[in-house]
Copies of this chain bind each other. A is one copy, B any other.
Amino acid sequence: MRQVAILGVGQTAAREHWALSLRQLAVQAGQAAMAAAGVEQVDSIYIGNMTSGRLNRQRQLGALVADHLGQRGVEAVKLEAACGSAGSAMRQGLLAVASGELEAVLVIGAEKLTETPFKETTAALTTAADADYEIIHGVTFVGLNALIMRRYMHEYGYQRHDFASFALNSHANGAKNPNAMFQTPISQRTYEKGRVVADPISLYDASPIGDGAAALLLVPAEKAPTAARVIGSASATDTLAIHDREDLLWLKAAEISARRAYEMAGIGPEDVDLFELHDAFSIMSALSLEASGFAEPGQGVRLAQAGEILPRGRIPICTMGGLKARGHPVGATGLYQLAEAVLQLRGQAGEAQIEGARIAMTQNIGGSGATITTHILQRP
């Protein structure tokens, strides 16, 4: 299996993009990645997207975006794994290049969530959970995460305000990212005043949905000796229905995919300089840190409280705002994470730069932990 490098990166700002359609967002990010790589013709396009069939009345995004990108005729397909769609698209793009059959592969994550009534958007997002065993009872997607957070608090003796460090870090970091939806730091007091969305999840424990697209151009590593390379890649699954998990507080798919990615890279968590994790909800940040080997069970929150997730901490997370402040255009998020990781490794993260970043890890989560893809990138 040959190694893969990331030759170009592109992204739109994460926003409510009232003037841009889904295809336009995808094309902007794709064009930017191709231009950055100096590549005019690709062999294949992989699109990560969750809700276009319902919210944009549009399927077959692969062919559609290929055409609008000036790549008519090229192989293209859409991948879907709920909020983990873009991570899955990256994984398949990587395997395609690794197979030896394809030489230049464009991977795009794109989502447009804000042109439909909020109720319809919410209904589309709940399809990330199990329709027959969860959604049928009327629980929402936030509600499922609230159940997990409540159990975590009970099991490990935390209060709601103990989770503040995650939101404070993400918002402080988002303030340094011109593509972030929210660019204003928040205080502990603001966090504590956040209204409750689904007890115990407050406004500042939940990431905002948005519109946006991010893209990477992948080539065989031997063709791009100075580009960041992918040294670890793995994807794993768990039950959609959270009541079926062996342990409600353990992201098994994060553990499996992180372990495999570490093995492939020949490194351990101690070697990772920054970790773009999937902070859709602050409880997910804690669970992701624990399952990926950065904290013992129940200690993810302590790690955050000790400041170790800050830019100068032991393991900086969400360095350009994370889902919480950069925004969460669901099917695009996994590629925003990867794009940000590449910028960090190249020393192009501006004010958000983590000094001396050499190895970056990303983890994209579909649903409440059902599809998790972990990637590890290395500076050239």
| A contact residues vs B (CB 8 Å cutoff) | 1, 21, 23, 50-51, 53-54, 56-64, 66-67, 72-82, 84, 88, 91-92, 95-96, 98-102, 123-124, 126-128, 130-132, 135, 234-240, 244, 252-253, 256, 366-367, 370-371
Most chain B CB within a 10 A radius of its CB, from A50, A54, A84:
A54
Chain B residues lying within 8 Å of A56, measured Cβ to Cβ, are 131
Q: Is the CB–CB distance between B256 and A64 below 8 Å? A: no
Partner of A95, one of B64, B96, B131: B96
Interface SS of chain A: helix, strand, loop or mixed?
mixed
Q: What residues of chain B lie closer than 8 Å to A53, measured between beta carbons?
A: 50-51, 53-54, 80, 124, 127
Instruction: List residues of chain B with CB within 8 A of the CB of A81.
Output: 59-60, 62-63, 76-78
Asked if residues B67 and A82 are in contact (CB atoms below 8 Å), the reply is no
A66 to B, closest residue via Cβ: B237
User: Does A240 lie within 8 Å of B127, measured CB to CB?
Assistant: no
| Other-chain contact of A57, B77, B101, B131, B367 (Cβ < 8 Å) | B131
Shortest CB-to-CB span from A116 to chain B, Å, is 13
CB distance from A283 to the nearest CB of B (A): 19
Known: A75-B235, A98-B100, A99-B1. A240 touches B60 (CB 8 A): yes
